[in-house]
């Protein structure tokens, strides 16, 4: 198994034996306070490990402003152009020095660095995604020791590597687009690709010790990683792979391997083993445990069932019993398959399916794309931020997040929360929007990166798939970077990296999941076409990335009908309050120098205005400072409504196969979930953690059961019901209320259809030409009305299922009778169980009512809604940091906006 060649295979019968294993491995953490200085010693400051240079200099007030204040993404670039040395002293006692093996372990160094211990160079690093282990026993002394890490400027290091490579041929792209205000040649470094800037984020090419540092001292062996493979059936089994390290120069180690699995009872086993490590001191042990079938409780994605997790501990104990190394994990029992079957056996040209089945049940993947929680790697792991974002995903009915390939492999906490919340993870490997070198040195460090990351993450039930890169197959085939001039060379490089180098490692270490070479790709069809398909976005195969910045995003007829939509999105501006924190008054217009600098998507502000103006009464002078809030607000409305229309289109298609072979869509992951700074982006959650309008809408359009009305090209009203539940829904009806813009209050709903709904399906239940629909509804003409659809159970009590869905029959700038509303907050009470009640009143119909809280963070039960009745009650739950607020404080912080009423 590559470097893990010391193979021992064991099978054992499990006994229900109570056991207790203790840790005796000596391990001294070297985290905490260090010092950092630049090349000429003009800057010297205290530093924290884990950490990074930008956070260290900001804490020391060397950088005396918020990193994201105005133009600081450019003003502070000098930091990335310097070299930085981190230093600390630590004491070692005689007892530690008595161990046969002492290793200095860096779990994350960002990125190009030299490590020096007591004036001895231990080696060099060039990959922030790797763990580096240095044998140091012979270099340590009793008492004080000095450790030094010298980081090269990542910008200059990338340039030097580019120049060496360019002597042979250029590996593009050379630079990011000018509009991104970034740096060049990041594809030559194994570093967060977005740290040199992206279309949604700034360039902060950090350096630093971004993960923990440890001294590991041991005499026998330590357990480094554990993998699991659940085998279901009448006699279920759990295969466990233990990856151990014995240190260099060791030919064999004898000991005892113990496995403890805590189900409803404790299942343990213990076996004597002899490790015969390879040249790098690595050994692999495989054990197979028989599981009591009645105690195997299956793990399900969010919305499909529970997520039971069980504690697994694997320990290696030396024969003399003096030393034990153990690793404890939380695992689950589930199977996952990427189903890529022919749609029509008799007509293979109609393509293949592309969806996940968990425990034998097909799932529609609903969710978003995850970028790092911060552009600074050490802050991207912040527990509070990660927990908030993951909770926000779960609470909006998401069951999948795609970890995008231009960021970082996420923290252990991220995957633990995904396990707990039932959020499947589409895991890109960290390559994005570039060609990459294939020099022996580059491939060697990538090999170890992939080994370590797959071994770290393999046991998580949430991880659903490995994808080799983000968009690189499409970039190569469609000539994004001029590769067509030497296509075969770049194709060979592509295959060498993702197929010949990465794929064997992934499949060897994790045979339980699918590996696709790219996203988007055509899955099996891409493989059949030599791994670079003629059309990587073929809608009859695999996944697609689809963006439209010109056509009306509210038009349900616009969108493709793919098998799986793994990226799609529309831009919006962040919260006005967020921008207030990092701007000055002269910056607060859509056309200010700063806002143009923050817009990293070429023509982005004009595109936002173009799309918003198709449906909303956007002022002609939207660039004027007095219309800045309106522009922000309309951008969020357009984003929410466009992604709602697109997502519902994909969900409607789950059961429908078009005559062209398109359809059977089984995934909708919009771009993107989160933000890293205060700037226009595709996110649904602001960098402050507040939900944009889109995120509130996601809770509704991702609900397990939805009613989805739309107008077809031939001006007919169609109503589709989607049921993602694992069971059928018996006896329900679709009801509609058609309201008028000039009349407050909705008429009594009328029933359009009664029906039963099959499990895991979509079905069109009603269609009628628009003129007839309006006539029956008593609407004089289309400009005067809107329609509100709902699903109601016909069982006793007639409870509503899911959420209302509003169909806007005409662009709102054409709406007749729409008047300026007077919306007021009449009362705020609570909290009761941490929740406040907010009561509103209006004197006219008010579309897109938007509630904001100044300096108070939390979520409303609904937001961005149509207020058709005079009164509305909304709930507010503050985040933990605002948990102690009073009702009066909440009320004083509240502002209310609607389409014709805003600041």
- Tens digit of each residue's pLDDT (9 = 90 or more) over 362-408: 999 999 999 999 999 989 999 999 999 999 999 999 999 999 999 99
> Does the pLDDT of residue 3 top 50, yes or no?
no
> Does the pLDDT of residue 24 top 60, yes or no?
no
Helix, strand counts (H, E) of the chain: 20, 47
Residue 510 C-alpha from the chain's centroid = 21
Residue 193 and residue 434 in contact, taking contact as beta carbons nearer than 8 Å: yes
Over the range 885-897, which residues count as b (16 or more CB within 10 Å of their CB) and which as e?
bebebbeeebebb
Whether residue 667 lies inside any domain: the answer is yes
- In the predicted model, what is the mean pLDDT of residues 537-560? 96
Identify the pLDDT of residue 28. Answer: 56
* pLDDT (tens digit per residue) in 49-67: 999 999 999 999 999 999 9
Task: Kindly state whether residues 491 and 553 are assigned to the same domain.
Answer: yes
Average pLDDT, the chain: 94
* pLDDT (tens digit per residue) in 635-649: 999 999 999 999 999
Q: How many CA atoms lie within 13 A of 533 on its CB side?
A: 24
Task: Kindly state whether residues 108 and 83 are assigned to the same domain.
Answer: yes
d(C-alpha 623, C-alpha 640), whole Å: 21
Within 10 angstroms of residue 98's Cβ, the number of other Cβ atoms is: 12
- In the predicted model, what is the mean pLDDT of residues 229-233? 97
- Of all residues in the chain, the percent with pLDDT exceeding 70 is 97
User: How many domains would you assign to the chain?
Assistant: 5
Instruction: Catalogue the active-site residues.
Output: 471, 567
> Does the pLDDT of residue 903 top 70, yes or no?
no
pLDDT band for position 902 (cuts 50, 70, 90) = low
Task: Kindly state whether residues 198 and 320 are assigned to the same domain.
Answer: no
Task: Kindly state whether residues 228 and 201 are assigned to the same domain.
Answer: no
Token couple for 107: 């779990």
Task: Kindly state whether residues 202 and 219 are assigned to the same domain.
Answer: no
Residue 789 and residue 707 in contact, taking contact as beta carbons nearer than 8 Å: yes
- In the predicted model, what is the mean pLDDT of residues 572-594? 97
Identify the pLDDT of residue 567. Answer: 98
Task: Kindly state whether residues 494 and 640 are assigned to the same domain.
Answer: yes
> Does the pLDDT of residue 5 top 70, yes or no?
no
Task: Kindly state whether residues 319 and 186 are assigned to the same domain.
Answer: no
Backbone φ and ψ for 23, nearest 5 degrees, come out as -95, 130
pLDDT band for position 8 (cuts 50, 70, 90) = very low
Whether residue 493 lies inside any domain: the answer is yes
Computed from CA positions of residues 86, 89, 93, 94, in that sequence, does the dihedral angle turn out positive or negative?
Answer: positive
Task: Kindly state whether residues 878 and 800 are assigned to the same domain.
Answer: no
- In the predicted model, what is the mean pLDDT of residues 826-838? 96
CATH number for the domain harbouring residue 267: 2.60.40.10
d(C-alpha 790, C-alpha 801), whole Å: 8
Q: 814, 845, 862: which is the final residue of a domain?
A: 814
Q: 305, 331, 357: which is the final residue of a domain?
A: 331
Residue 109 and residue 125 in contact, taking contact as beta carbons nearer than 8 Å: yes
d(C-alpha 121, C-alpha 110), whole Å: 18
Identify the pLDDT of residue 79. Answer: 98
- In the predicted model, what is the mean pLDDT of residues 835-840? 98
pLDDT band for position 725 (cuts 50, 70, 90) = very high
CA-angle at 233, arms to 462 and 9, nearest 5°? 75
Whether residue 847 lies inside any domain: the answer is yes
Whether residue 19 lies inside any domain: the answer is yes
pLDDT band for position 249 (cuts 50, 70, 90) = confident
pTM (two decimals): 0.96
Range list of H helices, 653-743: 693-701
Backbone φ and ψ for 174, nearest 5 degrees, come out as -75, -35
Residue 16 C-alpha from the chain's centroid = 40
- In the predicted model, what is the mean pLDDT of residues 802-826? 96
Are β-strands 871-878 and 835-841 bridged in parallel, bridged antiparallel, or unpaired?
A: antiparallel
Helix H or strand E encompassing 135: strand 132-135
> Does the pLDDT of residue 442 top 60, yes or no?
yes
The answer to which of 549-553, 679-683, 898-902 has the lowest mean pLDDT is 898-902
Identify the pLDDT of residue 189. Answer: 98
Residue 760 and residue 728 in contact, taking contact as beta carbons nearer than 8 Å: no
Q: 168, 194, 211: which is the final residue of a domain?
A: 211
d(C-alpha 784, C-alpha 867), whole Å: 16
Which domain range does residue 726 map to? 705-814
Residue 620 C-alpha from the chain's centroid = 37
CATH number for the domain harbouring residue 662: 3.20.20.80
> Does the pLDDT of residue 20 top 80, yes or no?
no
Whether residue 903 lies inside any domain: the answer is no
Task: Kindly state whether residues 44 and 102 are assigned to the same domain.
Answer: yes
> Does the pLDDT of residue 315 top 70, yes or no?
yes
* pLDDT (tens digit per residue) in 843-892: 999 999 999 999 899 999 999 999 999 999 999 999 988 889 999 999 99
Backbone φ and ψ for 311, nearest 5 degrees, come out as -80, 125
Whether residue 266 lies inside any domain: the answer is yes
Task: Kindly state whether residues 136 and 231 are assigned to the same domain.
Answer: no
> Does the pLDDT of residue 655 top 60, yes or no?
yes
CA distances from 117 to 187, 405, 529, 612, 750 (A): 30, 34, 51, 59, 78
Residue 57 and residue 45 in contact, taking contact as beta carbons nearer than 8 Å: yes
* pLDDT (tens digit per residue) in 115-162: 999 999 999 999 999 999 999 999 999 999 999 999 999 999 999 999
d(C-alpha 553, C-alpha 550), whole Å: 8
Give every CB contact of residue 504 below 8 A, 6+ residues apart in sequence: none
Whether residue 586 lies inside any domain: the answer is yes
Task: Kindly state whether residues 145 and 173 are assigned to the same domain.
Answer: yes
Whether residue 902 lies inside any domain: the answer is no
Identify the pLDDT of residue 565. Answer: 98
Task: Kindly state whether residues 657 and 710 are assigned to the same domain.
Answer: no
* pLDDT (tens digit per residue) in 178-191: 999 999 999 999 99
Give every CB contact of residue 289 below 8 A, 6+ residues apart in sequence: 12, 14, 237, 238, 239, 240, 259, 261, 267, 269
Give every CB contact of residue 812 below 8 A, 6+ residues apart in sequence: 615, 616, 617, 818, 847, 899
């Amino acid at each position: 198994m590559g470097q893990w060649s010391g193979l021992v295979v064991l099978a054992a019968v499990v006994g229900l034996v109570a056991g207790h294993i203790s840790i005796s491995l000596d391990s001294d953490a070297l985290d905490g306070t260090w010092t950092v200085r630049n090349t000429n010693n003009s800057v010297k400051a205290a530093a924290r490990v884990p950490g990074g240079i930008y956070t260290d200099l900001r804490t020391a007030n060397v950088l005396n402003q918020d990193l994201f204040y105005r133009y600081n993404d450019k003003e502070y670039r000098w930091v990335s152009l310097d070299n930085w040395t981190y230093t600390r002293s630590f004491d070692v006692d005689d007892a530690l020095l008595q161990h046969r093996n002492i290793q200095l372990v860096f779990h994350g160094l960002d990125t190009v660095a030299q490590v020096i211990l007591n004036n001895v160079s231990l080696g060099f690093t060039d990959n922030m995604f790797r763990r580096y282990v240095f044998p140091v026993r012979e270099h340590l002394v009793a008492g004080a020791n000095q450790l030094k890490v010298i980081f090269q400027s990542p910008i200059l290091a990338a340039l030097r590597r580019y120049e060496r490579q360019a002597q042979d041929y250029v590996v593009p792209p050379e630079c990011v687009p000018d509009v991104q205000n970034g740096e060049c040649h990041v594809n030559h470094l194994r570093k967060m690709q977005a740290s040199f800037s992206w279309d949604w984020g700034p360039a902060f090419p950090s350096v630093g010790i971004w993960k923990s540092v440890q001294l590991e001292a041991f005499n026998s062996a330590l357990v480094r990683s554990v993998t699991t493979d659940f085998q279901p059936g009448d006699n279920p089994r759990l295969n466990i792979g233990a990856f151990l390290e014995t240190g260099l120069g060791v030919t064999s180690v004898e000991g005892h391997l113990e496995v403890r699995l805590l189900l409803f009872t404790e299942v343990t086993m213990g076996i004597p083993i002899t490790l015969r490590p390879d040249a790098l001191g690595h050994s692999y042990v495989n054990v197979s445990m028989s599981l009591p079938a009645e105690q195997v409780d299956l793990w399900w994605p969010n919305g499909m069932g529970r997520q039971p997790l069980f504690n697994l501990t694997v320990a290696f104990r030396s024969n003399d019993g003096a030393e034990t190394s153990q690793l404890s994990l939380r695992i689950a029992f589930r199977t996952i398959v990427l189903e890529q079957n022919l749609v029509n056996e008799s007509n293979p040209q109609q393509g293949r399916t592309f969806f996940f089945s968990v425990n034998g049940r097909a799932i529609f993947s609903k969710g978003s794309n995850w970028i790092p929680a911060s552009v600074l790697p050490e802050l991207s792991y912040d527990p509070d931020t990660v927990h908030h974002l993951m909770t926000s995903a779960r609470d909006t009915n998401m069951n999948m997040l795609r970890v995008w390939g231009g960021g970082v492999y996420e923290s252990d906490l991220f995957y633990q929360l995904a396990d707990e919340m039932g959020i499947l993870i589409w895991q890109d490997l960290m390559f994005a929007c570039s060609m990459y070198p294939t020099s022996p040195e580059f491939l060697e460090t990538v090999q170890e990166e992939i080994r370590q990351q797959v071994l770290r993450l393999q046991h998580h039930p949430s991880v659903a798939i490995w994808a080799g890169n983000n968009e690189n197959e499409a970039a190569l085939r469609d000539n994004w970077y001029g590769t067509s001039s030497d296509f075969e060379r770049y194709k060979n490089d592509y295959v060498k990296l993702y197929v010949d180098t990465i794929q064997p490692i992934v499949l060897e270490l994790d045979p339980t999941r699918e590996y696709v070479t790219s996203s988007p790709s055509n899955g099996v069809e891409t493989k059949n076409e030599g791994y670079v398909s003629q059309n990587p976005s073929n809608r009859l195969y695999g996944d697609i990335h689809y963006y439209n910045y010109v056509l009306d995003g509210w038009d349900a007829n616009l969108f493709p009908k793919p098998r799986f939509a793994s990226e799609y999105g529309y831009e919006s501006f962040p919260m006005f309050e967020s921008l207030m924190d990092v701007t000055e008054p002269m910056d607060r217009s859509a056309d200010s120098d700063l806002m143009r600098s923050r817009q990293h998507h070429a023509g982005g502000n004009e595109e936002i205005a173009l799309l918003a103006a198709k449906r909303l009464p956007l002022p002609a002078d939207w660039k004027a400072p007095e219309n800045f809030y309106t522009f922000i607000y309309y951008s969020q409305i357009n984003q929410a409504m466009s992604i709602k229309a697109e997502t519902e289109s994909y969900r409607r298609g789950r059961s429908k196969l078009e005559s062209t072979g398109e359809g059977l869509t089984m995934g909708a992951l919009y771009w993107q979930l989160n933000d890293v700074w205060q700037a226009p982006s595709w996110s649904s959650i602001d960098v402050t953690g507040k939900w944009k309008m889109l995120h509130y809408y996601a809770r509704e359009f991702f609900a397990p059961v939805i009613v989805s009305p739309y107008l077809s090209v031939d001006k007919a009203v169609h109503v589709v019901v989607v049921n993602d539940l694992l069971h059928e829904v018996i006896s329900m009806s679709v009801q509609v209320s058609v309201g008028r813009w000039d009349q407050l209050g909705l008429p009594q709903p009328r029933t359009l259809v009664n029906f039963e709904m099959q499990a895991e399906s979509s079905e069109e239940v009603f269609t009628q030409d628009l003129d007839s629909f309006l006539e029956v509804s008593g609407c004089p003409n289309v400009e005067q009305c809107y329609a509100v659809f709902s699903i109601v159970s016909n069982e006793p009590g007639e409870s509503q299922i899911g959420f209302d869905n509003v169909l806007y029959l005409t662009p709102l700038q054409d709406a007749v009778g729409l008047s300026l509303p007077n919306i007021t907050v009449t009362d705020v009470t609570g909290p009761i169980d941490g929740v406040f009640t907010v009561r509103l009143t209006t004197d006219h119909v008010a579309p897109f009512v938007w509630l904001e809280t100044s300096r108070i963070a939390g979520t409303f039960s609904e937001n961005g809604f149509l207020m058709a009745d005079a009164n509305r009650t909304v709930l507010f739950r503050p985040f933990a940091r605002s948990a102690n607020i009073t009702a009066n404080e909440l009320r004083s912080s509240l502002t209310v906006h609607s389409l014709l009423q805003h600041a």
